[in-house]
Structure formats: C-alpha cells, structure tokens
Structure 1
C-alpha cells in the first residue's frame, strides 16, 4: 500500500472514529506538515463522498460524528499517554488540537457548501445571539473633478463621460468604453469599503476585481507607451495583451515600500493590506516582473512573491493559487492559516472589529467556506476547533 492509499485508509477510519491513538497521531502529523496540499483536499473530499452513497445520509452521518471526533480521539490519545509526563501529554494534545482544528473547518465548510439548507437545519444552534450579514457588491466611484457616485445606489446603464471614456454600470460592474472626446487624461478612483467588493473593466479590456477595503486609481483611457494604475488593499487582474504597451500596477507594501508589477498580458493577484505582515503577489497565468527598493523578481505561474520589509522579495514556488484568489470566487480558503489572519479576513468582509479576550489561541485552519454565509455560520464552523466567539454589535470577540 503506497502513502496515498495508507493516508486515505487512515482518513476514512478517522471520519468513522475508528482510529487507534497511534493512527490518529500519524494522520494528524500528516495534516500538520503538508500545509493542505491538493492531495489532502482530494483525499478528504473522496472520503466524505464515498462513505455513504446517499448525499443526505452522508451529511447526517458526518455531521453527527463531527461533534464527537475531537472529544473521543483526544481521550484516546490522552489515555494512551497517561504514563508519560504531564508536559508530554500536553504537547501531544496541542499538536492534535491544531491539526484537528484545520480538519474540522475543512469538513464543516465542505458540508455547508454542499448542502447548506440541511447544514443550517441540523447543526446545533449557534450560541451567537447576534449576527452579521456578508459583504456585497458596493463601492464609490470618484470622478476626475472629485465628485462621487455611490455605485450601490446607481442604476444600470450609462453613468457619465470622462474624457474619451463612457462609463457604464452593468450588473454591479463598471465598464469603460472608449469614445470620441477630449484627449486630455482623466483619472478615476474606485474604492470598496469594508464589507464591499466590486469589478470593473478598463478601457483596454483588462478586468479588475477589488476585494473589501481596497481601491484602484486609473486613467479612463490609456495614452502613451504604458498602461499604469495604482491600487491599495487587494485586487485580482486579468490583463488584456498589448505587447506595445506594458501594464504596470503600483502599490505600497505594509512596510511602506513602493512596489511595481509589470506585465504584458496575464492573470495575477496582489494583496497588500496595511494590517497584514506581507504584501503578496500571486501569479496564475503568464509572467510578471516585480520591482521594489532596487530589488527585482520574475514570477512564473504558481509562484508567489512576498515582501515583508526592506530586505528584498521572497519567491515561493508550487503554491496553491486557489487560496490567493478564493475571495474573488466567493470563498474563504485556508491552508494552515493562523487564527489572526483568518480573523482579519473575516473582519474586512463582515465590516467588523476583531478583539481577543485573554491569550490569543494558537490554531491553524485549513478548508473552504462560502463568503455568502452570515458571520454566525462561519464562526460556528470555526468553533469546532475549540475556540469560542461572541458578536457584540459591530465587534467579534474571540475567547477560549
């Protein structure tokens, strides 16, 4: 039996609560070390789909097990190690807790995505008496003269002319169409609030998706030998090919470094929020060049550049690009992601302040949860990791 088959067998036993303490430890070490590779996700999905043939029965069975797995296997491991020192037992249970937290989020998120009505009806009632709705398509368009258009209130159709560009709103998107008009350069800015997102198509056909608490400043028509725009926050790009005019994206890293990405035609994501530890540029298709503070890096597909300080650009290869662009596709996706990073994403999307009571719990999460759920549904899945939350107005408080 090869490694994949062995892990698949262990995972099925885990979901059926039939693992021995040693098998549970082996599986959870794998979960902790692999950082949620595509192999892991495929095995977990297969195990969930094949344990029962009927989808509803499968969901019922696994949902009943979820509440018991942590307690039961924790007790088995604790019992097996009772002859060792207290410190040794705590180390083992802590490793188990971190890995199991991630697996529970993955399973809970999977069930909520696959069968949301059943999940909401049959899971235990959340202790969260308050709730927060998810973010939506909303943004503010600032025109060249400083006047503003609240896009959530604007009707579909022609909005205005800006220089040589006609601005059209269509199905919660902005589209810039080149027309006849003054040749002077006009600049527009689109800004999303916390709890907002928006999509626009630039005059050259390039498409841009803005995540929450982000902005883009751009000329309404591109003139000259380059196409240059500025962003803050997070944006995903699908750039129209134009060999004669490279496309440049300027942004500032959390450490205050001026950076620029240069492309001809490609798909990529830039995340550079001020409250994150690093700016991250992730390439899905094509090639990009990143320059900052005298340093330069060339990315190929499935590579990610990180900029944490003024010491340079770090490039990681063979990453799962789905995590970087999950927000654009309507999901939270975590791969061994720490609690504070998870909560920052939640805070931006639900437009809520995050605070902690006592010591911040050490947890890593893996999994996929729809961003269309209310906050209480997302927090209920995270609570499977033995962390508690409460919502007070526009604040989520993390407790233990």
Structure 2
C-alpha cells in the first residue's frame, strides 16, 4: 500500500468519525505534508460527487485563502508559514482540527463558487494530482446497510448474526458461518461494488476466489444453496471457482451477466461486461455459455477460448486468444494487442477515474503494449502517445485526445 493510500484511509476514518485520538493527532501533524494534501483531495473527490467535475481546486492555494479568513485567523494565530511554502503547526490537535474542518467546507464552497476549467490556468490544471486505483469497495448487506471496506482494519471480523465477514491481512473479504450453525434459514445476499479507481478481492463461502475490477459489482449469497451456486456480475471480474459437491454430485456454479449465463465446468476464467459487449475468456477447465435469446447456440469453451457476445446485435463470436491480455488487469498491468485508442482510453478512464474527450477525428489509431496500472498518469500518456500515434492534453481530471 503506497503512502497516499495510507493517508487516504486515515482521512476516511476521520471523516467517518472512527479515528482514535492518536490517529486524529497524527492526521493534524500531517497537514503540511504535500502527499497528505494529495490524499485529502483524492478522498474528497471519491466521496463528494456522483459525476466527477473536470477539475478541482488546488489544496495548497485553498489553505492559504482559509488562513487569511478573519473568522479563522484568531483561532490559528500560531500557524506560521515557512519559506518553503509549508506551515508549522503550534497548537493542540483539537484547535487545528477546527481549522481542518473549515478547510474541508471551504474547498467545497470554493469549487462551486469560483473554480471552473476556464478560470484555472493551463499550468495549474496540468499539476492536478491523479493517482492510480487501489483497493477500495463498498459492501451492501441484505438489509441495505453499506460498509466502506477501506475503513476496516486488517483482521477485522464483522458479526452479522448467522455468519461472519472477515477482512484478512491482505485486505481480502471472506465469509464463514458461526460454529454452532450448519446452515442459514434463508438465502442472504451481499453485494460488493467497486468505484472507478477501485478494485477488490473476495473469497466466497464455497472457497471460490473473485477479483473485481474497477467500476464493477457482484451480488452473491453468503451461503450457497446445496443445489445451485448463482452470482450476478456487472463489470469485470476474474474467477477461480472451487469444487463443491452435494451427496456425490457437483453443484453447478453460474455467473449471470446481462443476457448471458455462464455455467462453470472448470475453474479459472475472466468475464468483462461493460456496455453491450460481454467478453468471456477461459484460462483453465471448461465453461458453458447460454443466452437469454433461445435462438443463439450454446458455446462450450476450452482453455484459451474467448467468446464476445454483443447483446444489441445478438451476435456471438468465438476465437482462440492469448489470455495474457484479458488477465493483465488482475496482475497490475494494462496490456493491449492492436487495441483501438478508444478501448485503451476507456481502461485508463476507469482505473484513474478521469474523463476522456476526443477533440479530433481519429483515423483508426491502435496501440499495442504493456504498461503498469500504477504508473504516473503523465508518463502513461506519453507512452501511449509515442506508440499509438495520438497526442494528449490534460486539464485537471479531463484528458483531451488529439491527432
């Protein structure tokens, strides 16, 4: 976990009123750290807007404005600016916390009233911090309660009555029944949702592993039925399905994605279901695909088979592929083989949580190559530009694609 994500978790806990006194004191002590300010901006963006605006105010500049506000000057009289532009904090944590809360409110107020893309100079926009995605997700319980998984400490156990949810040292979520229970009276479903710029790993009750990509959602029972294992997927996930038998018979594992149903006859596969296209890539074992439209022929996949199902045109295309490209995301990389620039930038937008605008008519530019998903955004764009025959201009969190 990098430093920005560590700071982000601390800020999330503070804003959720879950931080201890020691953590609050640590947070205040970090307020002149530029990395901490990047983390604050990141958390604010994640939690303030459903639709992300094109740019955001500079936290350093906004802090200076707040320090000049007469309502705060008295309370922060011992907050002194140094020659390098940072601040020395010489007050107890609770006094500075009040300034920090004023800072939070002023940032939101300042955005709505003063800052737009057109008013910010180009050089300032290009410096707006954009960080790669990280482990973050929301779990939605059967009763509708939502839990921010990034706020849970490692080795946390959540008691849900009949079953337990555990977050281990690696951040993975897993399920188990209590010792005195062998079954759950009713089928109980949970849902995990990853935002843009997030991913998460889940171990289901049968031992099956699921790695969920950014902007995705999976609904699953906390305890599977003895006759059928059914999950519902929107977005992209990689599955390693565990074997499960009942009285000597295999219990089927089904993944429902839109108008496609996948039945697992083996173990490892990837499903990508953004928009109208559902792409299923088999790594190991066998799977069978069927479709809501009964006129479409069932597809039996063996290793390295890939099926692309267009839900609009109701067309099914099957071919042999190198699964390396479909699985690169779960291994921390972007990997493309003659992919269109539009397809490449769709991946970038989802992972870095940015907006993409196409300023010119593109002439079929394509890109091939492998890049780390944790690369600096500007270095990533330079690499794509060099190999893909396009140019980029970044203004805050909006990236313009040019010929």
Change (3 A) 1:264 1:161: farther
Once the two structures are superposed, the pairs formed by residues 151-300 of structure 1 within 5 Å of their partners are 151-162=149-160, 164-170=162-168, 171-179=170-178, 180-181=180-181, 182-243=184-245, 244-252=250-258, 258-274=259-275, 278-292=277-291, 293-294=293-294, 295=296, 296-300=298-302
3-state DSSP of counterpart to 2:304: coil
User: Which residue of structure 2 lines up, in the alignment, with residue 20 of structure 1?
Assistant: none
Runs of 5+ consecutive residues of structure 2 not aligned to the other structure:
1-124
Hey, what's the Cα distance between the residues in 2 that align with 1:316 and 1:130?
Answer: 42
Change (3 A) 1:241 1:265: farther
Greater Cα shift, 234-243 or 383-392: 383-392
Compute the TM-score of the two structures, normalised by the length of structure 1: 0.64
Runs of 5+ consecutive residues of structure 1 not aligned to the other structure:
1-126, 253-257
CA contact (8 A) 2:127 2:396 kept: no
Hey, what's the Cα distance between the residues in 2 that align with 1:161 and 1:262?
Answer: 32
- Kindly indicate whether residue 376 of structure 2 is the aligned counterpart of residue 396 of structure 1: no
Hey, what's the Cα distance between the residues in 1 that align with 2:189 and 2:261?
Answer: 19
Q: 2:317 aligns with which of 314, 338, 341?
A: 314
CA contact (8 A) 2:189 2:220 kept: yes
User: Which residue of structure 1 lines up, in the alignment, with residue 136 of structure 2?
Assistant: 138
Q: 1:372 aligns with which of 371, 374, 377?
A: 374
Hey, what's the Cα distance between the residues in 1 that align with 2:261 and 2:335?
Answer: 26
CA contact (8 A) 1:131 1:375 kept: no
Hey, what's the Cα distance between the residues in 1 that align with 2:274 and 2:240?
Answer: 20
**Higher helix proportion:** 1
Q: 1:360 aligns with which of 352, 359, 362?
A: 362
CA offset digits 1:217-274 (Å, max 9, x no partner)? 000000230100001000000000125211000011xxxxx11100143100000102
3-state DSSP of counterpart to 1:332: strand
User: Which residue of structure 2 lines up, in the alignment, with residue 349 of structure 1?
Assistant: 351
Hey, what's the Cα distance between the residues in 2 that align with 1:265 and 1:226?
Answer: 15
Hey, what's the Cα distance between the residues in 1 that align with 2:346 and 2:315?
Answer: 25
User: Which residue of structure 2 lines up, in the alignment, with residue 327 of structure 1?
Assistant: 329
User: Which residue of structure 2 lines up, in the alignment, with residue 5 of structure 1?
Assistant: none
CA contact (8 A) 1:176 1:220 kept: yes
How big is the alpha-carbon RMSD for the aligned residues of Structure 1 and Structure 2? Answer: 1.7
Displacement, 1:278? 1.9
3-state DSSP of counterpart to 2:254: strand
Displacement, 1:361? 4.4
